[in-house]
Amino acid sequence: MPMLDIKNLTLEIDNGTSRVKALDKVDLTVNSGEIRALVGESGSGKSLIVSAISGALPPQFHITADRMSWNGESLLSMSTEQRREIMRRDIAVVFQNPITAMDPSATLGEQLEESIPDELVKGKWFWQRRQSRRKSAISTVHKVGIKHHRHYLNAYPHQIPTDIGQKFMIAMALISQPKLLIADDPTRGMETTTKTQVLKLLTRLNQTRSLSILFISHDLLAISSMAHTMTVLYCGQSVESGRMKMLRKRPLHPYTKALLDSAPSFRKDLPPKSILPNMDGIIPSLKHVPIGCRLGPRCPRAQKDCVITPAVRRIHDHTYSCHFPLHMEKL
Amino acid sequence: MKELMQVKGLLFRHSDTKRWLKKPEVFALGPIDLTVNRGETIAIIGENRAGKSLLAKMLVGAVAADEGEIYLSNVSYNAAKRKSTKSYNSSNDIRMIFQHSSEAMNPGITVGMILDEPLRLNTRLSEKERRSRIEETLRKVGLLRDHVYFYRHMLSDGQQQRVALARALVLQPKILVADEPFAALDPSIRSQTVNQLLTLQKELGLSFIFISHNLGIVRHIADKVIVMENGQIVESGKTETIFRWPQHAMTKKLIMAYQSLVPQQKLN
């Protein structure tokens, strides 16, 4: 049974006169012990899904979903306290912009110790508890690969470089020992060595503690090295979803193929300095979303039928939504 | 191939004087020697705080070095002396694209004015000539003539990147220095930018020095790779040689980290 199960999540934004669908019938499941990658370019609504799951949406956003449940309990119908309890204990979120997501008026050590749940703190007396907090803070900080804990635990968020901030966000998420980690672009702008370090850490946690991870990124190289399953989003619509291996070997949706082609590391046969295959045009903004399949205007295989939103089709556990998928050669 | 740029003994020192209970911070970059040939692409890789951005800034003269000389198309430039205007001579042959290209643009003026500024300050072209130069450059980077009336916020990420490229190209340089030009871009926009650069390089014979963390792209477009650690060049050479037979420990670390992510080819 999936841990996190989302079916037909639609998010509408009121902009005074009309409603814009920022997310249009997105399906997403995360099974326990699974690393699910959520891929999409900026403006595809990846971060909106994170906010929708964590319940951090402003009131002018309207969520409707057929199903949005955590371990069988519906997230939409539960009370705020219950939901907060789940967010506190079971789900941890690494936000996109680490420096702005932290409290600027407290040191990193204080923030990290604050996020340790009481039941994980050992000791009876306050000095024992304080020591235990300090100890687990230091060990978590070491675990994510920050060496000089004394320096950084006493620093304020504005004093640290971004990559330390990113690691710190991961530490803050991991210290409460969650069941699901939602990581919103945790490796953005990181150098390769640090990135592999973080990815290895996440993979190890997934294997040893069977932590489920929802990994949101557009770094396909990082994703393909660790994720088991992948969901591709484009402009608020889920485009294709399935096992990582299958998707990489044989993508069915033109957009997935274009995404995979855009990373030169995947292609050994590509001669150096050759032109990379890519899709023309840019991601449309929310004000001007095309009707039907939103990839339509950019898609090389688009035809008249593409103005109707394609239904989700399924081959085993591989789902896609396209009228003219790549395995149907005849157009 | 013709040598276009030669850097000799470029040195930068930064030292904080010792204060009460505070260790003195010493950072030294160089001495760095470098030659750039015509139409060549050089990638600078390394960890954070290795001095990559500083080196790029020193090459274009945005940061004054402490010692060293730069020869650009056989004219010598003293990289160190910047204070007195007399010994300061500028060149239009080298231009830079900054790290956050969209934030490096003035939001209050139009694209046309952004591109006009370097021309007004560095050339003696008349207004009409400047205008036609701007339009020509915009076309070159794949934008339209009408984009001169646009403000920064009206453009998408990829278009902003193109404007940054246009601003660098408007003075018709021979060498382009870019600090992480691909880092903040989405995959499809990124490959568009890479293609743009490759075609421009072919058309204009540009030399291109860039910093990147994305080793996949480095491997794809660079001719030569420079590896930096703690302000020193620890290894440099042809891209394939560096990627196949890394010698220095730092290079090995970087390449190994990259290789562990790349899917290995399987026999099936």
Q: Which of B12-26, B101-115, B176-190, B216-230 has the lowest mean pLDDT?
A: B12-26
Structural domains in chain A, CATH included, are 2-90+178-320 (3.40.50.300)
Please give, rounded to a whole number of angstroms, the shortest distance from the CA of B77 to a CA of chain A.
32
Check CB contact under 8 Å for A190 and B213: yes
Is the CB of residue A162 less than 8 Å away from at least one CB of chain B? Answer: no
Across residues B213-238, what is the average pLDDT? Answer: 88
Question: Would residue A258 be called left, alpha or beta, if left means φ above 0 and alpha means ψ between -120 and 50 degrees?
Answer: alpha
pLDDT of residue A36: 92
pLDDT tens digits, A109-120: 999 988 888 888
pLDDT at position A144 over 80: yes
Whether the predicted pLDDT of B267 surpasses 50: no
**Residue A263 pLDDT more than 80?**
no
- Give residue A16's pLDDT: 76
Q: Do B257 and A278 touch (CB under 8 A)?
A: no
Comparing A140-149, A164-173, A301-310, the range with the smallest average pLDDT is A301-310
Interchain contact A308–B (C-beta under 8 A): no
Sort out which chain A residues have CB atoms less than 8 A from B265's CB and list them. Answer: 268
The model's pLDDT over A198-224, given as tens digits with 9 standing for 90+, comes to 888 889 889 988 899 999 988 888 888
Whether residue A240 has pLDDT greater than 60 = yes
Does residue A308 surpass a pLDDT of 80?
yes
In angstroms, the CA A244 to CA A16 distance is 41
Q: What is the mean pLDDT of chain A?
A: 85
**B132 falls in which pLDDT band (50, 70, 90)?**
very high
Instruction: Kindly state the percentage of chain A with pLDDT values over 90.
Output: 9
When pLDDT is cut at 50, 70 and 90, the band that residue A150 belongs to is confident
Residue B43 has pLDDT above 50, yes or no: yes
Evaluate whether A88 touches A179 at the Cβ level (below 8 Å): no
pLDDT for position B34: 86
Whole-number mean pLDDT of chain B? 82
Decide if pLDDT at B131 tops 80. Answer: yes
- Lowest pLDDT segment from A123-127, B181-185, B224-228, B242-246: B181-185
- Residue B128, pLDDT score: 92
**How many Cα neighbours within 13 Å face the side chain of B204?**
21
The confidence score (pLDDT) of residue B266 equals 44
pLDDT average, residue stretch A301-318: 83
Q: Is B148 left (phi over 0), alpha (psi -120 to 50) or beta?
A: alpha
Arithmetic mean of pLDDT, B49-63: 84
Tokens of B128: 């009409």
CB B56 within 8 A of CB B97: no
Question: Span A58-62, mean pLDDT?
Answer: 83
Least CB-CB distance to A270: which of B198, B220, B258? B220
Instruction: Tell whether A176 is within 8 A of chain B (Cβ).
Output: no
Query: Is 80 exceeded by the pLDDT of residue A104?
Result: yes
- In this prediction, residues B98-126 reach a mean pLDDT of 86
Q: Give residue B1's pLDDT band: very low, low, confident or very high (50, 70, 90).
A: low
- Mean pLDDT is highest, among A276-290, B5-19, B113-127, for B113-127
Residue A128 pLDDT grade (very low, low, confident, very high; cuts 50, 70, 90): very high
Instruction: Determine what percent of chain B is predicted with pLDDT higher than 70.
Output: 89
Please report residues of B whose CB lies closer than 8 A to that of A265: 215-216, 219, 258, 261-262
A41 at interface of B, judged by CB pairs closer than 8 A = yes
ipTM of this complex prediction, to 2 decimal places: 0.76
Is residue B78 predicted with pLDDT exceeding 80? no
A219 CA to chain B: closest CA distance, Å? Answer: 8
Q: Which CATH superfamily is domain B1-93+175-194+206-268 in?
A: P-loop containing nucleotide triphosphate hydrolases (3.40.50.300)
pLDDT of residue B62: 80
Mean pLDDT value across residues A144-150: 85
Q: Which residues of B touch A (CB under 8 A)?
A: 41, 47-48, 156-159, 183-184, 186-192, 194-195, 198-199, 213, 215-217, 219-221, 239, 253-254, 257-258, 260-263, 265
Tell whether the model's pLDDT for residue A285 goes beyond 80: no
**Confidence class for position B25, pLDDT limits 50, 70, 90:** low
pLDDT at residue B204 in the model: 84
Write down the pLDDT at residue A297.
Answer: 80
Structure tokens at A97: 């912009």
How far away is chain A from the Cα of B72, in angstroms, using its nearest Cα? Answer: 25
Nearest to B257 among A196, A278, A283 (CB): A196
pLDDT at A135 over 50: yes
- Model pLDDT, residue A248: 83
Residue of B nearest to A249 (CA): B268
**Domain residue spans in chain B?**
1-93+175-194+206-268, 101-172
For the residues B94-116, what does the mean pLDDT come to? 86
In this structure, of A16-20, A198-202, B207-211, B226-230, the range with the lowest mean pLDDT score is A16-20
Q: Which of B11, B12, B1, B32 is nearest to B226 (CA)?
A: B32
The pLDDT confidence band at residue B268, using thresholds 50, 70 and 90, is very low
pLDDT in tens, A173-186: 988 889 999 998 88
User: Which of A244, A276, A286, A295 has the highest number of chain B CBs within 10 A, making it the mutation to test binding with B?
Assistant: A276
Query: Any chain B CB within 8 A of the CB of A225?
Result: yes
Q: How far is CA A115 from each of CA A154, A315, B29, rounded to the nearest angstrom?
A: 16, 43, 41
Measured in angstroms, the CA of A100 and the nearest CA of chain B are apart by: 17
Q: What angle do CA B209, B45, B220 make, to 5 degrees?
A: 70
Q: How far apart are CA B73 and CA B124, in angstroms?
A: 21
Is residue B180's pLDDT more than 80? yes
- Rounded Cα distance, A32 and A5, in Å: 11
B213 and A189 within 8 Å at the Cβ level: the answer is yes
Averaged over A18-24, what is the pLDDT? Answer: 83
- Helix, strand, or coil (residue A149): helix
Could you give the percent of chain A with pLDDT greater than 70? 98
For residues B85 and B172, the model is more confident at B172
Inter-chain contact A199–B194, Cβ cutoff 8 Å? no
Interface test with B, best of A265, A267, A274, A287 (most B CBs within 10 A): A265
Q: What pLDDT is stored for residue A24 in this prediction?
A: 85
pLDDT of A13 over the 70 cut: yes
Q: What is the pLDDT of residue A268?
A: 66
How far from each other are the two terminal CA atoms of chain B, in whole angstroms? Answer: 43
Which of B48, B220, B261 comes nearest A196 by C-beta? B261
What residues of A are in contact with residue B189 (Cβ under 8 Å)?
41, 282
Is a pLDDT exceeding 60 seen at residue B82?
no
The mean pLDDT value for A151-157 works out to 89
Whole-Å CA distances, A198 to A106, A149, A221: 25, 17, 14
Residue B77 and residue B61 in contact, taking contact as beta carbons nearer than 8 Å? yes
Region for residue B39 given its phi and psi (left: phi exceeds 0; alpha: psi -120 to 50; beta: otherwise):
left
Count interface pairs A-B at CB distance under 8 A: 101
Q: In this structure, how many other beta carbons lie within 10 angstroms of the beta carbon of residue B263?
A: 13
| pLDDT bracket for residue B83 (50, 70, 90) | low
Average pLDDT over residues B195-224: 87
